[in-house]
Structure 1
Amino acid sequence: MTSLYFLGNTILTVCLYVLILRLWMQRVRVNFYNPFTQFIVRITQPIIGPLRKVIPSIKQIDTATWVLLYFVAVIKIIFISYYGMINESIWTSKYLLYAIAVIAHAFGHLLFWLLLFRAILSWVSRGQSNADELLAQLTEPLIAPIRRIVPPLGMIDISFMIFVFILMFLNMLAVDVFGYLWLIL
């Protein structure tokens, strides 16, 4: 049972990450000719393409992708509940609110990993790879305001560390608000 829970939870979390990345890439208008960007678009297009015919976009909001993201989050909550991690009925209306927490949790973890990969790549590739370009386009809008307040100290840019501390604080705050649910997401 534990292995099936791990497998299902991992698959649903990766689906959430991919959908969040697609929405985030659209929002910050990354280079869509980047191979990594093309990969995300190609693996989500078979589902989102037909869904867009049913759920049209509202101005610049990709409604179909948002609905699919929310649906996957609800499935993850039901999956966690099925394995006995949440002690509530499966049909409770709280699951609709829990899905928002699932999305926020996935976004925070995805952001942490993107920042970590960007920091590691900055030591290795020095901004010359497609992955480094994409990571910079995704994370720079979040890091730039901190960098304006706290400029780099010589060759050391501590804005990443400050942002990670902010993420850790928000994670601890969410544990205080959601309790055990936040820890199992």
Structure 2
Amino acid sequence: MELIYFLGKTVITFCLYVLILRLWMQQVRVNFHNPITQFIVKVTQPIIGPMRRFIPSVGKFDFATWLLLYLVALIKILFIFSFIPINLPFNVNYLWFALVAILHAMGYLLFWLLLFRAILSWISRGQSVPDEILYQLTEPLMAPIRRFIPPIGMIDVTFAIVAVVLMFMNYFATKIFGALWIIL
């Protein structure tokens, strides 16, 4: 039973990450000729493409992808609560919990992207395909901080500052949402 829970939660969380990346890539206008970007678009297009016929985008806001992201987050909440021994009937709070699940996934995805970018910066020095996409996704968040705290010699402390802020926000969210944040 624990194996099913772990696998199910991992697959659903991965789906959340892919949908968040698709929205994020559209927002920051990444290079769509990048193989990683093409993979994310091709994986999500079979579902989002037909949804866009009925749910059009308005300006830069992609309603179809946001709706799918919300539905996957709701599925994650329902899946997690189906494994809790206390039988909780479906109620309106689950709709709110799905938004919390999206917020949780965004924070963790951002942390991992920043960590991968930092590690790759030591290894490949910005010369690989993953470096390009990681730069394009994370730089809009790091550039404003870098304006106030420039690199010290050859060391850029921006990642450390953003990581500390994310850890603080994670701690704060744990205090606000309690057990829900922990089990997500």
Q: TM-score range by the shorter chain?
A: over 0.9
TM-score (norm 1): 0.97
| 1:73/1:102 contact within 8 Å kept | yes
Partner of 1:49: 49
Q: 1 CA distance for matches of 2:48 and 2:39?
A: 14
Kindly state the Cα deviation for residue 90 of structure 1 after the two structures are TM-superposed: 3.4
Structure 1 position 165 matched with structure 2 position 164: yes
Structure 1 residue aligned with 2:71? 71
Indicate yes or no: 2:113 matched with 1:110: no
Q: State the shift of 1:91 in Å.
A: 1.4
Shift of the alpha carbon at 1:135?
0.2
In structure 2, the CA distance between the partners of 1:22 and 1:36, relative to structure 1 (3 Å rule), is same
Alignment of 1:21-170 (within 5 A): 21-84=21-84, 87=86, 89-170=88-169
Q: Secondary structure, in 3 states, of the residue corresponding to 1:143? A: helix
Contact 1:122 1:132 in 2 (8 A): yes
Tell me what 2:179 maps to. 180
Structure 1 residue 88: deviation in Å? Answer: 6.4
Structure 1 segments unaligned to the other structure (5+ residues): none
User: Which residue of structure 2 aligns with residue 8 of structure 1?
Assistant: 8
- Structure 2 SS opposite 1:68: helix
Distance 1:88 1:153 in 2: 54
Q: Deviations over 1:31-78 (max 9, x none)?
A: 000010000000000000001111111121110000000000000000
After superposition, what is the alpha-carbon deviation per residue over 1:123-166, rounded to whole angstroms, capped at 9, x for unaligned? 11111111100000000000011111111110010010000000
Q: Percent identity, please.
A: 62
The code of the aligned residue for 1:25 comes to M
- Give the deviation of 1:20 after TM superposition: 0.1
Distance in structure 1 (CA, Å) of the matches to 2:117 and 2:59: 32
Q: Could you tell me whether the CA contact under 8 Å between 1:118 and 1:136 is conserved in 2?
A: yes
Give the ranges of 4+ consecutive aligned residues of structure 1 lying more than 3 Å apart after TM superposition: none
Determine the C-alpha separation between the residues in 2 that align with 1:157 and 1:125.
Answer: 16
TM-score by length of 2: 0.98
